[in-house]
Amino acid sequence: MCAPTWCLDDEQIEGLRRSEWLNDNFTNGAMTLLIKKSPVGVGGMFDVIYGANAEYPKADGDMWLQILHNGLNHWLLAAYGFPSLPKNCVVIFDSLRSEPSNLVLASCASLLGTSQDNFVLYSSSCQQQNNSDDCGVYAIAFATALLFNLDPLKLTFHSGKLRNHFKSCLLRRELTPFPSVGSRCANERESSETVVDVICSCRRPRRFLNSESALDIESVYECEICGKEFHKSCEKIPKNV
């Protein structure tokens, strides 16, 4: 099953500390609640375990969203097709505005599943966190806003209230929009677009893992007939070929 599983009890939720990073159980718990709130036709919201090797299924529907881990102790949101977002590109909401890792690029490619040779990744000018531990909460706040037809790029969330609101939502088993203190103007100069090339039947980039030790897994073979490139690991091509 691709859907996230609820693995939290009230004691775990109450025990979530102010300076504690969200683990997979909290992120998957949030996505089970996002699924309950999502309108018909919104896809994604898979178990984050598929992100370990960027092996998400292709997201169904014209709109989708997914909370992603970048493999470097950081959560962010990827979304596509929502009315408030730039058209025909995967939009990243990153509360630290970090450089997208190989894992993030490949996860977005897997979710999009384009038949084209590339896609556009749009790194948005979303609100930035003011500490080192709330990236997961911000990603969930951005996702919740989208499902409630709010534009995350125009919201200023109340940073001091986000975590308590999240805990309250988990305890009630229902997500509601996160507290905000007014509107903001997104600075387009802080946004950027990247064209991401994809190959293989998996429709991911050449490099899809962060570790240099993964180069063997990511080794590429060029077909002598069609001239296209394929990951040997995806096509189960022997290492000696």
- pLDDT tens per residue, range 147-183: 999 999 999 999 999 999 999 999 999 999 999 987 7
Residue 186 confidence (pLDDT) above 90: no
Mean pLDDT of the chain, nearest integer: 91
Rounded to whole angstroms, how far apart are CA atoms 169 and 60?
26
Number of domains within the chain = 1
Kindly give, in sequence order, each residue whose CB lies less than 8 Å from that of residue 210, ignoring residues fewer than 6 positions away.
70, 71, 72, 101, 102, 103
Kindly give, in sequence order, each residue whose CB lies less than 8 Å from that of residue 9, ignoring residues fewer than 6 positions away.
none
Tokens for 109?
A: 């490619």
User: Residue 1: exposed, middle, or buried by beta-carbon count in 10 A (0-12, 13-18, 19+)?
Assistant: exposed
Rounded to whole angstroms, how far apart are CA atoms 6 and 25?
7
Distances (CA, A) of 58 to 41, 44, 45: 14, 8, 11
What CATH code is carried by the domain that includes residue 89?
Answer: 3.40.395.10
Q: Which run of H or of E encompasses 182?
A: strand 180-183
Kindly give, in sequence order, each residue whose CB lies less than 8 Å from that of residue 219, ignoring residues fewer than 6 positions away.
231, 232, 233, 239
> pLDDT confidence of 121, banded at 50, 70, 90?
very high
Residue 127 in any domain: the answer is: yes
Residue 220 in any domain: the answer is: no
Q: Are 139 and 157 in contact (CB under 8 A)?
A: no
**Residue predicted with more confidence, 19 or 187:** 19
Residue 55 in any domain: the answer is: yes
Residue 234 in any domain: the answer is: no
Give the structural domain span for 74.
10-197
Residue 230 in any domain: the answer is: no
Q: Which run of H or of E encompasses 63?
A: strand 63-69
Residue 41 in any domain: the answer is: yes
- pLDDT tens per residue, range 46-94: 999 999 889 999 999 999 999 999 999 999 999 999 999 999 999 999 9
Tokens for 52?
A: 């370990």
> pLDDT confidence of 105, banded at 50, 70, 90?
very high
pLDDT of residue 48: 95
pLDDT of residue 233: 82
Distances (CA, A) of 186 to 56, 92, 168: 30, 14, 29
Kindly give, in sequence order, each residue whose CB lies less than 8 Å from that of residue 216, ignoring residues fewer than 6 positions away.
239
